Amino acid sequence: AQGVEWAVTSAWYELRRAIGRLSVAEEMLGLAQEHHRHVEALFRNGMVAKNEVLRVEVSVSEAELNRIRAANGVDVAWHALERAAGTTLRARYALPQEEFEGDLPPAPEGAVEMGLASRPETRALASAMDSALLASKAARASGGPKIILMGEVYRADESFFPSKMDDWKITLLAGWTFFDGGESASRAREARAAAEELLFQAEDLKRQIELEISAACSNFESSLRRIEVGRAMVAAAEEEYRMALRRYVAQVGTNIDVLDGATALANARNQLVEGIYDAKKARAEIDWALGITGEAFGREVVK
């Protein structure tokens, strides 16, 4: 069940990531078209050459291609989510605009110890190891003396309380196999070896769980720092693009400055989207690595 939940959660955040990329692509297409209108106006007034118009048309086409690729990514992400959930979702649900503001819940204290205590694999392996130890003890005891106590009661009559036939007996059997060809000792050694193998598997599982939790926590902290840097990067890129566009309209800047600014802005916004959903996915991965149910960070609205 937890594996299915993690598959659905992972597909959900990949869908949200794809939608974020599509939003960035649509915004950049709008900026490219706006810049194209500015260049067309300058060209009609004889202030710029035709090659600058053609260069901006190329940038508009490139932005449109990026939007098409991003839209295809959303379609693929929807199919992946429906595959993980095992049902049709896109025709039944609409996704609201997700807010990027707000802090994600931090990783719990003592995450490794919590994961070792709550992961179902550790409990299953511990039960299997106990079972193997009990099997080893039973195999060793099979070579010792055996005492069997049996009791029998027989009553028969035509009425509810029988009286015609009332008989009972108690049997006590004792036996001791002095030589079984080493069968019981062999079974005991086999069960003991199985218990030792399970012990090594438990130790390896413990290290694997520690690695999964540590990696998820590290990815989460790294993604949070990337969000901070990404927000500052977006603010700087937006200001750079605004200044480059105003300088170009005033004919004190170049078309290359505007196009470079648009490229930097698109990269900054995409990096912010990647950081946000890497952080959300890593936070959900922490819960999965801990063996607990993760919290949903998105909402679904029925059409």
State the span(s) of the chain assigned CATH 1.20.1600.10. 2-118+212-302
Instruction: Give the rounded distance of the alpha carbon of 263 from its chain centre.
Output: 31
Average pLDDT over the chain reads 83
Q: Count other Cβ atoms within 10 Å, centred on residue 7.
A: 16
| pLDDT of 158 above 70 | no
Angle, CA of 220, 22 and 37, to the nearest 5°: 130
Q: Does the global pTM surpass 0.85? A: no
- Strand stretches in the chain, DSSP E: 93-94, 145-156, 165-176, 301-302
Q: Does domain 2-118+212-302 have CATH number 1.20.1600.10?
A: yes
- What pLDDT, in 10s, does the model give residues 40-52? 998 998 888 899 9
- What pLDDT, in 10s, does the model give residues 57-114? 999 999 999 999 999 999 999 999 999 999 888 888 888 777 666 678 787 788 777 7
